[in-house]
């Protein structure tokens, strides 16, 4: 065991856990109310929201998986850069409007808005269930980041003793999330992001210097990994896959419940707009992180005797930990690993809170106990947040890691099916709730079928048009089918004169409030 690195890691980990409990007294409010526990009282300003969204969107798995993808597959791993650039103009336009409506009516989830906008419990239920199911493996994958760095510290991660550090980490997470709600990850996100920026800054200076500079690094990468495969007469090859993967990921990310929760916790719609202008700073960090994959390739960490067993166990996910272990002193390894580990706690906390909000508001209150009071509603949410964490932990403890990864692949395909109802619903009522529900079901089935036909080993599904194969992200193809079906059914519903459900929102709600 790397004793020095482990001590630094544990000290920082315990420190943020203490912060998580202290957060209950930060910007104090009545944590017996769901609005306070689950959304921080909607009082987070521009800076706190920036840290919260950054911690929410750029997770531990991102910091491990993107370099691993570049390490293993090469240039295609850089899809994350255009993806995170496309996100922010989209979110800048759309989500201040959702915030304004939610603020005026006290909505806590996107499904609250759907229920009011379309007058349909079942459409709201579909959105809520999709969000919860898509979030579960996403939380589980945060454990991958913790598991990999724990293994990098030299601690065995197999068997019950090996699972103990993960269980302890999530028990602590569950405790401070239960007591402090969204305030805990908001406060911890500040520490996490500072550690990440320090770690990346040091890595970008130290590692290239020892590898002969960036020019030597790029010169050493095989051309096949440095460039996307060019189109030919029969197929668009890597270009269409790269473009649709970036576009689909951008459209899907802010539809996840944890993203919506972070947005709705902002103090104003202008705070959201300012954040969409500032968050590309994380895209810069993400680009630098992706370069770590190339650095690991050039350094040859996979063949170093001390790391061979780790790569057998964790695969390419061990590329970044191996780099830090090889190039940095033990105390800084502890700092870097703590940044990754804490980077798992922040999004996992927000995700569990978001899933709990959805269940409480849109399933429990709507279908089981309509008369529930505010205090009991929050207690249900707190309990469900614990259940969600236990479920996510079970993914890792009782299922092979590949299952969690495969389910996360489906999660992205599923969550994008809520886009027509949520995003288009902010601008038009042309789409009827029955059309949206049928479109959602068709999109879910089609996207799932595409992923299964790929044996859940990838997300790029090729469609054939006029003899040309067009590989693309399955989420995009299934979303297009979803929208087409929703439009056709909505037109048919109007044509036969079926009753149009009441819209409980008002036109003035859609005028953005500052």
Strand partners of residue 473: 460
Is residue 58 within 8 Å of residue 289, measured between CB atoms? no
pLDDT at 401 over 90: no
Length of the chain: 514
Q: Among 418, 438, 444, 427, which residue's Cα sits nearest to residue 490?
A: 438
Rounded Cα–Cα distance for residues 328 and 321 (Å): 10
Predicted confidence (pLDDT) per residue in 44-56, tens digit: 999 999 988 887 7
The pLDDT assigned to 512 comes to 62
* pLDDT category of residue 409 using cuts at 50, 70 and 90: confident
Q: Which residue's structure tokens are 């409506």?
A: 101
In our burial notation (b when 16+ CB lie closer than 10 A, e otherwise), range 184-195 reads bbbbbbbbbbeb
Least confident piece of the model among 65-79, 256-270, 351-365: 65-79
Q: Which of 104-108, 159-163, 403-407, 506-510 has maximum average pLDDT?
A: 104-108
130-161: pLDDT as tens digits: 999 998 888 877 877 788 888 888 887 666 66
Integer Cα distance of 137 and 258 in angstroms:
13
Quote the pLDDT of residue 470.
85
Amino acid 160: pLDDT: 66
Domain ranges of the chain: 3-398
Asked if pLDDT for residue 435 goes beyond 90, the answer is: yes
pLDDT (average), residues 74-81: 82
At 314 the pLDDT is 81
Beta bridge partners of 470: 463
In this prediction, residue 404 carries a pLDDT of 60
Phi-psi region of 455 (alpha: psi -120 to 50; beta: other; left: phi over 0): left
Percent of the chain residues topping a pLDDT of 70: 95
Residue 405: the pLDDT is: 62
Is residue 36 scored above 70 in pLDDT?
Answer: yes
Return the pLDDT at 97: 92
Q: Which residues make Cβ contacts (< 8 Å) with residue 16, sequence separation at least 6?
A: 188, 191, 192, 342, 345
**pLDDT, tens digit, for every residue of 226-261?**
887 776 655 566 678 888 888 998 899 899 999 999
Mean pLDDT along residues 113-117: 94
Instruction: Give the whole-angstrom CA distance, residue 123 versus residue 139.
Output: 25
Local confidence band at 99 (pLDDT 50, 70, 90 cut-offs)? very high
Q: Tens digit of pLDDT for each residue in 282-293?
A: 888 888 888 999
How many whole angstroms separate alpha carbon 408 and alpha carbon 395?
11
Residues 6+ apart with CB under 8 A from 364: 372, 380, 384
> What band does 167 get if pLDDT is binned at 50, 70 and 90?
confident
Averaged pLDDT for residues 436-440: 97
Is 203:371 a contact under the CB 8 Å cutoff? Answer: no
What's the fold here for domain 3-398?
Sodium/glucose cotransporter (1.20.1730)
CA 402 to chain centre: 18
Task: Give the mean model confidence (pLDDT) for residues 64-84.
Answer: 84
Tokens, residue 35? 């609005």
Q: pLDDT averaged over the chain?
A: 87
pLDDT interval class at 309 (50, 70, 90): confident
pLDDT of residue 8: 92
Determine whether 124 is exposed, middle or buried from the number of CB atoms within 10 Å of its CB (0-12, 13-18, 19+).
buried
């Amino acid at each position: 065991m790397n004793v020095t690195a482990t001590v630094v890691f544990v000290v920082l980990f315990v420190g943020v856990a203490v912060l998580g409990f202290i957060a209950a007294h930060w910007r104090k409010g009545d944590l017996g109310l769901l609005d306070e526990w689950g959304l921080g009282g909607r009082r987070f300003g521009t800076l706190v929201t920036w840290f919260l969204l950054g911690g929410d969107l750029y997770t531990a798995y991102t910091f491990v998986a993107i370099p691993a993808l570049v390490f293993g597959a090469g240039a295609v791993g850089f899809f994350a850069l255009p993806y995170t650039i496309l996100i922010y103009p989209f979110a800048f336009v759309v989500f201040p409007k959702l915030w304004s409506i939610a603020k005026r009516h006290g909505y806590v989830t996107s499904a609250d808005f759907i229920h009011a906008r379309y007058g349909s419990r079942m459409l709201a239920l579909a959105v809520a269930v999709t969000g919860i199911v898509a979030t579960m493996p996403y939380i589980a994958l945060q454990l991958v980041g913790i598991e990999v760095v724990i293994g990098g510290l030299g601690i065995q991660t197999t068997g019950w003793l090996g699972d103990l550090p993960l269980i302890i980490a999530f028990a602590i997470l569950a405790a401070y999330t239960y007591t402090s709600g969204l305030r805990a990850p908001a406060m911890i996100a500040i520490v996490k992001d500072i550690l990440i920026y320090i770690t990346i800054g040091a890595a970008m200076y130290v590692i290239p210097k020892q590898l002969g500079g960036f020019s030597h690094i790029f010169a050493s990468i095989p051309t096949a990994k440095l460039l996307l495969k060019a189109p030919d007469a029969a197929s668009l090859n890597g270009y269409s896959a790269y473009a649709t993967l970036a576009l689909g990921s951008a459209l899907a990310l802010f539809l996840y419940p944890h993203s919506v929760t972070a947005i709705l916790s902002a103090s104003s719609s202008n705070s959201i707009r300012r954040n969409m202008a500032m968050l590309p700073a994380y895209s810069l960090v993400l680009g630098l992180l992706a370069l770590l994959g190339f650095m690991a390739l050039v350094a040859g960490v996979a063949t170093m005797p001390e790391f061979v067993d780790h790569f057998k166990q964790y695969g390419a996910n061990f590329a970044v930990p191996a780099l830090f272990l090889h190039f940095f002193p033990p105390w800084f390894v502890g700092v870097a690993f703590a940044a990754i580990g804490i980077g798992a706690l922040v999004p996992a906390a927000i995700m569990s809170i978001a899933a709990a909000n959805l269940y409480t508001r849109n399933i429990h209150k709507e279908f089981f106990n309509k008369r529930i009071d505010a205090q009991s509603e929050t207690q249900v949410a707190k309990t469900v947040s614990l259940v969600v964490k236990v479920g996510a932990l079970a993914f890792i403890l009782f299922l092979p890691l590949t299952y969690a990864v495969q389910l996360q692949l489906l999660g992205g395909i599923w969550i994008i099916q809520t886009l027509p109802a949520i995003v288009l619903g902010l601008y038009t009522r042309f789409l009827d709730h029955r059309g949206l529900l049928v479109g959602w079901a068709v999109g879910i089935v089609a996207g799932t079928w595409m992923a299964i036909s790929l044996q859940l080993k990838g997300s790029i599904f090729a469609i054939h048009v006029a003899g040309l194969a067009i590989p693309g992200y399955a989420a995009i193809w299934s979303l297009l089918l979803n929208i087409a079906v929703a439009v056709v059914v909505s037109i048919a519903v109007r044509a036969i004169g079926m009753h149009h459900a009441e819209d409980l929102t008002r036109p003035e709600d859609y005028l953005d409030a500052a």
